[in-house]
Each structure stands twice: as structure tokens, then as C-alpha cells.
Amino acid sequence: MNATDGDGTERNRGVNFFIESGSSGKFSIDPKTGCVYVQVDAQLDFETVSVYNLTILAVDQGSPPLNSTSEFLVKVLDVNDVAPEFDRNARYQVQVLENLASGSIVFDCNATDVDTDSHLRYSIIGISAYDEDRKKVDNATVWVGLHHNSSVHML
């Protein structure tokens, strides 16, 4: 922040800065230089508060002291700090007919990411297959692919 005082003497021209409101304990200001800092140990979180509107008070050293205020807008930028979440639990189970055509969609799953500009990529990291008697089938005989929009296809 910068402020000037047109009074004639050095004492009357000196200005001190204060945060009058809006910092929520997250910001401080150097009273002499007007530099605004993030408070030590302050936790900024875009998902909680994305904009702080600080009111800065400049006070001269005259007698009587005069003051002026200015608005100072702080925009918090988002970082990738929130993990995506599936719409349902992370374990899915489907049953398919043995004569299902290749390329058929057998399941559609969705996940969301609240971070700005999130680009989700889906991958299958494990498959367990069982026959009608609940005996495990060799995974080499199971061919499953993942479509770009999170639909699972039989290949």
C-alpha cells in the first residue's frame, strides 16, 4: 500500500498503515512501509474463502491525526489440494451376461473434484472375476477397458 500526505513538515507527512477490517486474522501490514503479508501460520483455503476484501487505514502523524481508507482485494488462487471423490463407494460390483456384445457398457462411474481446472483420469487398477459357482476366474480371460468418460466396457 502507498499513501502520501501533502502537509509541509516531515512529522505531519508521516503515514502509518493499519488493517481496519477484512483480514480474518490471515493478513498483517507493516505500519511504516504498507507492505501486506500473509500472517505467520495462516492457512489460506480457496474452497473456504477465495477472496478477502481488506480495508486499509492510513493515518498521518499530524495533530489532530487525519486518516484515509482504501480497499485492498486479495484473491486466493486454487491449488490441487482436494482429492477427487467417487459418487458412491470405491468398490463396485457388476454382473454381466456371458453373451454381452464386445464394446457394451457394463458400468458407468463418476467422480468429482472441487479443485479449479480439475481434469480427472480414470483407470482400472484391479479386477476380480468369478464364475456362477463363485469360483475365481483367471483374470487373463477377462478383458475390460475404460472409456475416456469413465464408462467400463467389455472388450
Which pairing describes strands 27-29 and 15-21: parallel, antiparallel, or unpaired?
unpaired
- Work out the pLDDT band at 112, boundaries 50, 70, 90: confident
The CATH 2.60.40.60 portion of the chain extends over 10-75
Tell me what pLDDT residue 40 has. 93
The DSSP code sequence of 75-104 is EPPP-S-S--EESS-S-------TTPPTT-
Q: Identify the CATH number of the domain defined by range 10-75.
A: 2.60.40.60
pTM: 0.65
Tell me what pLDDT residue 27 has. 97
User: How confident is the prediction for the chain on average, in pLDDT?
Assistant: 83
